[in-house]
């Protein structure tokens, strides 16, 4: 069977069996096609690939000047591909099983302090048509730890304010329940009264919570633009994106004593190791606090 047929079957597996989003499927396919190009240049069929060939492939990625993080992402897709072929009975062994991943230094994500979040919210002009909407957006991002895609796709049928939670449709169409604070409910109500109830909503967009001035669902790009403008207005010099609010949500929960497993559930992380980056953030925070404020640090 040809490389493209194997890749097509892999894509079908990711879509139907794993339920991955289109962006994730495209990324995996792109990763495997890089290996296909390497293999075809060396006259190798799928069942001829060995560990030595994969190591040569890694060297080629390195020679192209790709970062360790990018190399690791590509190799992760390649490993998924070979695991699929093994499970599907197309291969008798997995040549990527002993493949070493590039070592990546942990890069701590940018986090806002509580004071900086307050400053961003205070920078919103509530006299404008979008003011209450933008405040509701920031409150929801920070209070619920949502991804930007989850925010723009939030629907009224997923909101249960009386019960105190919202239903979030995350990666791979997986659902989770996230506790929602009274401040979020209050700001969404104010947004409805001040703006949304007076809008001419476009057909098919009635159930989406956050809309643009033309009555259509907001885009991811628009959320980035709203935040970028508020960051400039508040005079914050950090690199802030919608995801920064998600990192801040998790970090502040951990600093407040929340259980790592509970944070994992609320963020919708499939693996606890993804959430464990916040323990590194918390250790950095504690180290800074000790150096700055512990009386033993001021001696000698």
CATH topology of domain 3-87: DNA polymerase; domain 1 (1.10.150)
pLDDT in tens, 208-225: 999 999 999 999 999 999
Summarize pLDDT for 268-284 with one digit per residue, the tens: 766 655 555 555 555 55
Q: Which fold has domain 114-291?
A: hpI Integrase; Chain A (1.10.443)
CB contact at 8 A, 250 and 275: yes
**Interacting residues of 266 by C-beta distance below 8 A, sequence separation 6+:** 144, 145, 176, 178, 179, 253
Is pLDDT above 80 for 196? yes
Q: What is the mean pLDDT of the chain?
A: 85
pLDDT band at 247 (very low <50, low <70, confident <90, very high): confident
CB atoms within 10 A of CB 264: 19
Q: Is the pLDDT of residue 289 over 70?
A: no
Tell me the percentage of the chain whose pLDDT exceeds 70: 85
d(CA 147, CA 159): 16
Tell which wins on pLDDT, 267 or 37.
37
pLDDT of residue 12: 93
Residue with tokens 């401040």: 183
Q: Are the beta carbons of 35 and 76 closer than 8 angstroms?
A: no
Return the pLDDT at 293.
Answer: 43
Express each pLDDT in 113-159 by its tens digit. Answer: 999 999 999 999 999 989 999 999 999 999 888 989 999 999 999 99
Q: How far is CA 226 from CA 168, 174, 200, 278, in A?
A: 22, 27, 22, 26
Residue pointed to by tokens 């991943």:
101
146 token code pair: 């949502």
Residue 46 near residue 95 (C-beta atoms within 8 A) = no
How confident is residue 296, by pLDDT bands cut at 50, 70 and 90? very low
CA distance 249 to 243: 10
pLDDT band at 79 (very low <50, low <70, confident <90, very high): very high
CA dihedral 236, 242, 245, 246 (to 10 degrees): -150
What does the alpha-carbon distance between residue 288 and residue 293 come to, in Å, rounded to a whole number? 8
Give Cβ neighbours of residue 25 (< 8 Å, ≥ 6 apart): 11, 14, 15
What's the pLDDT at 84? 93
Check residue 260 and give its pLDDT. 64
| Geometric angle at alpha carbon 77, from 103 and 10, rounded to 5° | 165
The predicted structure's pLDDT at residue 297: 43
Catalytic residues: 147, 171, 243, 246, 269, 278
Residue-level length of the chain: 300
Whole-angstrom Cα distance, residue 128 to residue 195?
10
Query: Which pLDDT does position 96 carry in this prediction?
Result: 93
> CA–CA distance from 112 to each of 118, 120, 129, 299 (Å)?
10, 10, 27, 31
Q: Where are the domains of the chain?
A: 3-87, 114-291
User: What are the Cα distances from residue 239, in Å, to 110, 121, 216, 236, 243?
Assistant: 7, 17, 28, 9, 11
């Amino acid at each position: 069977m040809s490389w493209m047929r194997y890749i097509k079957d892999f894509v079908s597996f990711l879509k139907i069996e794993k339920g991955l989003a289109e962006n994730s499927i495209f990324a995996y396919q792109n990763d495997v096609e890089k290996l296909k190009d390497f293999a075809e240049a060396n006259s190798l069929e799928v069942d001829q690939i060995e560990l030595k060939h994969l190591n040569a492939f890694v060297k080629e990625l390195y020679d192209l000047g790709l970062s360790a993080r990018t190399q690791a992402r590509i190799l992760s897709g390649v490993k998924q591909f070979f695991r699929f072929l093994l499970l599907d009975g197309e291969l008798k062994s997995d040549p990527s099983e002993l493949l070493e991943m590039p070592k990546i230094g942990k890069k701590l994500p940018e986090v806002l302090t509580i004071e900086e979040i307050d400053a961003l919210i205070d920078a919103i002009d509530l006299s404008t048509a979008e003011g209450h909407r933008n405040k509701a957006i920031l409150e929801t991002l920070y209070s619920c730890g949502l991804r930007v895609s989850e925010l723009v796709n939030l629907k009224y049928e997923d909101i249960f304010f009386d019960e105190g939670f919202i239903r979030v449709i995350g990666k791979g169409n997986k659902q989770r329940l996230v506790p929602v604070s009274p401040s979020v409910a209050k700001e969404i109500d104010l947004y409805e009264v001040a703006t949304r109830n007076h809008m001419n909503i476009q057909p098919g967009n009635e159930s989406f919570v956050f809309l643009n001035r033309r009555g259509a669902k907001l885009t991811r790009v628009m959320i980035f633009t709203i935040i970028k403008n508020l960051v400039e207005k508040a005079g914050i010099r950090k690199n802030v994106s919608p995801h920064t609010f998600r990192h801040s949500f998790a970090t502040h929960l951990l600093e407040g004593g929340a259980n790592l497993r509970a944070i994992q559930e609320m963020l919708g992380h499939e693996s606890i190791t993804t959430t464990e980056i916040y323990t590194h953030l918390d250790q950095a925070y504690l180290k800074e606090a000790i150096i700055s404020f512990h009386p033993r640090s001021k001696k000698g």
